A and B are shown apart, each in its own frame.
Chain A
Amino acid sequence: MTALAHVPTSTGQPAGPPPPPRHDRHRLLPYLLLLPGAAWLLLFFAVPLFQLAAASLYDPTGSLSTGYALTWAFGNYPDVLQAYWPQFARSFGYAGIALLLALLMGYPLAYAIAQKAGRWKNLLLVCVVAPMFTSFLVRTLAWKTILSDNGWLVGLLRDVHLLGPDGRLLATPVAVVLGLTYNFLPFLVLPLYASLERLDYRLLEAASDLYASPVQIFRKVTLPLSMPGLIAGTLLFFIPATGDYINAELLGTPNEYMIGNVIDSAFLVRLDYPQGAALSFLLMAAILAVVFGYLRRAGTEEVL
């Protein structure tokens, strides 16, 4: 149910004529209405980002008990990159592979619900959202049962020799990627569904009337018209997947740790704030770079 509201393309300005100008005494009203919410977001979203930036430049030799000094220690950044580049690479690698899998699964699913499901549409939609009705962590733990060494899935794969006699799924990169794909798939499907639902079936008929093969119809009509949903869905999938560390922790081993695991332990176990803050900031910068690079290539600035 998160993703429904997540779609950034769906709500722009209100449709129709612009609201009529209010009388003078209403001029202050919008600011009064905005004040509490905006103040909250400024104080607890924007200001902390600056605090995080500051913390990433603390003297790395300090500690929580002795206190940190802001020494503009830019050296923290190369240091953490050197120490944790594998986790960084893994975060983007796993999220990228999971995204590919999710696209392969999510596009047909969204398309089928939008264009083929008829009166089952709403039911199927509920099925897509249903996983989010229960706790993220509990669901992820259920994969532990499904992928378990004694489970039927591993047994089956061993029987058909897709896995060796003591091959495993759990505690492997496969499990982590499967978990990521599963957990964030609805965020990809819902916006995609929203734009495919708006697609007029007659356009497809018109295309086939004009001698387009099914593959050509997909490439020339369906895909371009679903682009806004595809872009939104991709971002909604990729951003949380990259920052996730629950799947790596529960379904993987330290060999599968992503950058989130490192940040978690930096802040909560090792209490090394400069390092944790630098990693966090790098993560945000990297994600922003990927997102903007992607948006530029996809050619749709309107999504933001």
Chain B
Amino acid sequence: MKFSRWLADHWVMGVALLVLGYLSLPILVVAALSFNRPSSRLSYDFNEFTLDNWRQPCATSDMCDAVLRSVQIGFIATVVATVLGTLMAFALVRHRFTGRSGINLLIFLPMATPELVMGTSLLALFVSAGVPQGFWTVVIAHVMFCVSFVVVTVKARLAGMDRRLEEAAADLYASPWQTFRLVTLPLVLPGIVAAALLAFSLSFDDFIITNFNAGTTVTFPMYVWGAAQRGIPPQVNVIGTAMFVIALLLVGLTSLRGRRSRRAGLPVAPAAGRRAKSPT
């Protein structure tokens, strides 16, 4: 009786932990394989522990070139997409204009379209326009699919912002530009930063769209794809693990900062917020 009661209360959590295990398993394997000396080029099994891969991550220089290229592309695409998307988000939240639903559709559709379709259609465009494919066509493609995500992220932050803060600034003698610089921008900035990080990670990790538009340019995912046929150098797992650790650190840092600024700043009416949450 007691046990079945306990089981009824806790089985969901049990299933959840199993599923989390399923989700985490590959990362553990990647981390383990980064310390592996494979028995042969085509072997995926763990063979022997070594630190060599971490000591010489660039032993296969193609791979490091590809990583560098991915970083460059990601950086440019992120900057452009963040600027374009942020401007659009401001227009959507702060202004009334005709054609809003059309713009919303234009922003929504890229997020709902299979990458395969976006990649091939862009390829069709570039080929028929005679544009040679390479570094810049990849950048163009990445900006295209990142913009929508930036808009959505910044929009959420902007919509959640209290308009009265800007009115208060105007009331306190701040010109529109000063209001924007001193109040609006600092308050929206976390949203913009989040959007930029999202855009970078989308760009860095994209394979399908890149694959159709890269010409002979090799990004990191494309390098892995090619290497999967020829044999994967174990350093790929070093990069994979390092990416994971860096992203985890970033998340940890921002959540720490977030917690501090939540204690020290952001919600405008903390009392009201608390009241809404706790069922007293």
Contact = CB atoms under 8 A, between A and B. Distances in A.
Interface of A: 1-2, 4-6, 8, 10-11, 13-16, 18-19, 21-22, 26-27, 29-31, 33-34, 36-38, 40-42, 44-49, 51-52, 54-55, 64, 105-106, 108-109, 111-113, 116-117, 122, 124, 126-146, 148, 150-151, 182, 185-186, 200-202, 214, 235, 239-240, 242-246, 249-250, 260, 263-264, 267-268, 273, 276-277, 280-281, 283-284, 287, 291, 304
A2 B128 contact: no
A200 B278 CA distance: 11
Contact of A142 (B26, B90, B95, B97): B26
A33 B90 contact: yes
A85 B13 CA distance: 41
B212 A11 contact: no
Interface string B116-141: 11101111110110000000000011
A284 B118 CA distance: 10
Contacts of B90: 33
A109 B15 contact: yes
Interface string B234-258: 0011011101100110010001000
The 6 closest A-B pairs by CB, nearest first: A243-B114, A112-B16, A133-B247, A30-B95, A48-B121, A52-B121
Contact of A38 (B88, B120, B244): B88
A41 B121 contact: no
Nearest to B220: A135
Contact of B116 (A49, A109, A143, A283): A283
Interface string B72-111: 0000000000011101101111111100000100111111
B152 A243 contact: no
Interface in B1-51: 8, 12-13, 15-16, 19-20, 22-27, 29-30, 33, 44-46
- Counting chain B CB atoms within 10 Å of each CB, the highest count among A1, A31, A54 belongs to A1
A140 B121 CA distance: 26
Contacts of B111: 6, 8
Contact of B19 (A108, A139, A260): A108
Nearest to B236: A138
User: Chain B's interface: helix, strand, loop or mixed, by majority?
Assistant: helix
A38 B251 CA distance: 31
Contacts of A277: 120-121, 124
**Is the interface on chain B under 10, 10 to 19, 20 to 34, or 35 or more residues?**
35 or more
Contacts of A21: 96
Given A33-B87, A37-B147, A41-B144, A14 B120 contact: no
Contacts, number: 289
Contacts of A18: 96
A106 B13 CA distance: 12
Interface of B: 8, 12-13, 15-16, 19-20, 22-27, 29-30, 33, 44-46, 83-85, 87-88, 90-97, 103, 106-118, 120-125, 127-128, 140-141, 143-144, 147-149, 151-153, 155-156, 158-160, 163, 195, 197-198, 201-202, 205, 207-208, 211-212, 220-221, 224-225, 228, 232, 236-237, 239-241, 243-244, 247-248, 251, 255, 279
B106 A38 contact: yes
A135 B205 contact: yes
A126 B24 CA distance: 11
A173 B270 CA distance: 52
B23 A1 contact: no
14 contacts: A1-B198, A19-B93, A21-B96, A37-B151, A41-B110, A47-B125, A48-B124, A116-B16, A117-B13, A131-B26, A135-B224, A146-B29, A150-B45, A291-B112
B224 A141 contact: yes
Contacts of A126: 248, 251
B95 A283 contact: no
B42 to A, nearest CB: 10
Contacts of A5: 149, 152-153, 195, 198
Given A40-B143, A48-B121, A240-B114, A138 B16 contact: no
Contacts of B160: 15
B88 A34 contact: yes
Nearest to A16: B163
B246 to A, nearest CB: 8
Contact of B23 (A128, A244, A267): A128
B26 A30 contact: no
A117 B12 CA distance: 11
- Counting chain A CB atoms within 10 Å of each CB, the highest count among B44, B220, B232 belongs to B44
